[in-house]
Structure 1
Amino acid sequence: MQFDTLDDIRAFCRDLPGGDEASADAAARRQQNLTKPPGSLGRLEELAIWLARWQRRDMPRLDRVTIAVFAGNHGIAARGVSAYPSEVTAQMVANFAAGGAAINQIAKLAGAELRVEPIALDRPTRDFTVAPAMDPDEFLAALNTGCRTVPDGSDLLVVGEMGIANTTTAAMLCAALMGGHGARWAGRGTGVDDAGLVRKRSAIDAALKFHRGILDDPLAVATSLGGRELAAIAGAVLTARARRIPVLLDGFVATSAVLPLARLAPDILDHCRAGHVSAELGHRELLRELGLAPLLDLDMRLGEASGAAVAILLLRAALACHGGMATFAEAGVSGAD
């Protein structure tokens, strides 16, 4: 799948592929007949039905789970908005490759394939306080990197990111598309001190003023105020929708990446669930705006898809019950009158 123009994205969002309601209905009927009071497994039941809808089978499975982590660098980092220098992005990508990061351990535990895609790390986006972060061709190139990363036949896609200064970019997208100033959306990210937090929020306010003429166009906002790894996440989520692959979103940055898409089509995220709510300022409010109830709330704020990857284990529990439990008839147990 490839998008050659921004209008291609808009056209796709006007005619979205749907899930399979027959499979979802069959999965719901099975849940009603398992040896438990109806609804007693709570959201585990809903998750099994959601997976059935998007996998288009009443007995969904997680044989092939893909975690895609996209990495990018940001020109805004030069303004001192992060506690770490930009070279840490490439260093962490190397750590992923060596198997030394948190996501490596969680992916292994969750039985998932980890794909890491660094995008032009030697070419940071431009400082969005004085220029567009990307031009449309750069945005589309990054978005199509995300499209190419989604494998055919995946049962579940988990998306995450790595990029020094990208919590500033995420807060920037929220401020541009949901309103408010830097103080509403920008938290401490990697742990900036008070002076760094002031710089971060001031940069967002300056960019809102500089780019005020484009704030009514979600894709112009994603291009001029976003980042390459965020664009790639958006591309991966679009491709997953085209292939009807369910998606788990990671934290604040990964969720902000799909906010421009949601502004184009509110139902674009029907195939997505929020793996967790981050401790980062703004994520909880962003999830409320998008109508996404997080599966986990563990005060995590690492990124690199770590929170959503933990949530894979919840999905496995949901499917173990959905597929492995006996029905009342099979167990010879009397059902409710």
Structure 2
Amino acid sequence: MKPFDHASADAARERQDILTKPPGSLGRLEELAIFMAGWQGRAVPVLNRAQAVVFAGNHGIVAQGVNPFPQQVTALMVDNFRTGGAAINQLCKVAGAHLSVVPLDLDRPTGDFTQGPAMAEAEVAAAMETGASAVDADADVLLLGEMGIGNSTVAAVQAAAVLGGTGADWVGPGTGANSEEMDNKRRAVDEGLARHQGGGTTAVLSAFGGREQAAICGAILRARELNLPVILDGFICTAAAAVLTLDNAEALEHCLIGHQSTEPGHRRMLDALKMSPILSLDMRLGEGSGAAVALMVLRGAIACHADMATFAEAGIG
């Protein structure tokens, strides 16, 4: 894991202090510019190429009645992404991000984690490699999102496995679960936690899945090798990323949280990870949609950092 470049961050901080504004007056925008400088290794970061990747997978846990939609919707949404009809397509277009969609064995769902492991370790490794291979080494920032019917249940059990708690602590409505489906989700999480005990990143991904979550982990690790900053989407994406902290507490230092989802467990998760979202817009769509909106804010932060005049240039002071 490559480290944060403190010299570049310090140079960016010094630049912020001489721009034509009161020091600190742009608040989080200044912090974002400095964050990007440190991870890109240059005092004035750039956003010439933004890459967005949506990973998609299917989950055996849907057999437990945890979702109001059939699994076929995952493949239909992948087709929708590819033909430009989804929200993420519109947001990436506006935000200036190149979008790719990576389905992972949609015709072969993971196992039902209440009955056994979701994946073999070899499947975890393969999915992580798919995620790593999807990363554009020439990108200046990477946006990550997901799609998969049933994956809010997977995210809830991952959150509990990493941060502790029960189904009641982490389960939310996802795509609109009714009261019976919510009960099924909580029960499934508790049964999964009772069946599968502890372990590191690979063990948790093997126990609970899913392939898109493992791919997200692989992409995050590859981005770290490249000193590539990452914007994570909401609850499901953050829960997948959090699994990496089981092996390395600093695994997500190059990651930003695009937004705080309305999924009730997300705020608790962010507090536990000590990470602050860029936005809070009552979104809960997934697809990387919150990350794409956050990219627009990040572009504003870097534009101010790069293009504002200094006091000397403006003849002030």
Compute the RMSD of aligned alpha carbons. 0.8
Residue 263 of structure 1 and its aligned partner are, at CA, apart by 2.1
Q: Which residue of 1 aligns with 2:56?
A: 71
Partner of 1:256: 239
Displacement after TM superposition at 1:175 (Å): 1.3
Q: What's the TM-score once normalised by structure 2's chain length?
A: 0.99
Structure 1 counterpart of 2:216:
233
Query: Percent of counterpart pairs with the same letter?
Result: 55
Gaps of 5+ in 1: 1-15
Query: How far apart, CA to CA, are the structure 1 residues paired with 2:102 and 2:9?
Result: 33
Q: Deviations over 1:120-178 (max 9, x none)?
A: 00000000001100010001110100000001111000000000000000001111221
Query: Which residue is 1:6 aligned to?
Result: none
Q: Deviations over 1:94-125 (max 9, x none)?
A: 00011000000000000100010000000000
Listed as ranges, the matches of 1:69-218 within 5 Å are: 69-211=54-196, 214-218=197-201
Give the deviation of 1:267 after TM superposition.
1.3
The answer to whether the 8 A contact 2:121-2:202 is kept is no
Counterpart in the other structure of 1:331: 314
- Measured in 2, the distance between the counterparts of 1:191 and 1:229 equals 21
**Match status 1:277 vs 2:277:** no
SS of alignment partner, residue 267 of structure 1:
coil
Displacement of 1:219 after TM fit? Answer: 2.5
- 1:181 maps to a residue whose letter is T
Can you list the C-alpha shifts for 1:287-327, whole angstroms capped at 9, x where unaligned? 11111100000110000000011000001100111011110
Q: Which stretches of structure 1, 4 residues or more, deviate above 3 A after TM superposition?
A: none
Cα deviation for residue 199 of structure 1 reads: 0.6
CA distance in 1, matches of 2:201, 2:186: 21
**8 A contact 2:167–2:189 mirrored in 1:** yes
Paired with 2:57 and 2:201, the residues of 1 have a C-alpha distance of 20
Task: Note if contact 1:20-1:56 (Cα within 8 Å) is conserved in structure 2.
Answer: yes
Question: Deviations 1:234-288 (Å, cap 9, x if unpaired)?
Answer: 0000000000000000001100111121122111111101000100120111111
In structure 1, distance between residues paired with 2:171 and 2:16: 42
Separation in 2 of the partners of 1:17 and 1:264? 16
Matches of 1:270 and 1:19, distance apart in 2: 8
The answer to whether the Cα contact below 8 Å between 2:124 and 2:202 also exists between their aligned partners in 1 is no
Within the alignment, does 1:313 sit opposite 2:296 as a pair?
yes
Q: What is the deviation of 1:232?
A: 0.2
Match of 2:26 in 1: 41
- The one-letter code matched in structure 1 to 2:50 is V
Amino acid at match of 1:226: G
Counterparts of 1:291 and 1:67 in 2: how far apart (Å)? 24
Cα separation, 2, equivalents of 1:239 and 1:183 = 34
Match of 1:275, SS state, is: strand
Whether the aligned pair in 2 keeps the contact of 1:170 and 1:226 (CA below 8 Å) is no
The residue identity in structure 2 corresponding to 1:43 is R
Q: Is the 8 A contact 1:262 1:290 kept in 2?
A: no
Alpha-carbon distance in structure 2 between the residues aligned to 1:271 and 1:210? 33
In 2, the alpha carbon distance for the partners of 1:201 and 1:273 equals 29
Question: How many pairs are equivalent?
Answer: 317
Q: Deviations over 1:36-66 (max 9, x none)?
A: 1110000100100111111111111111000
For 1:132, what is the secondary structure of its paired residue? coil
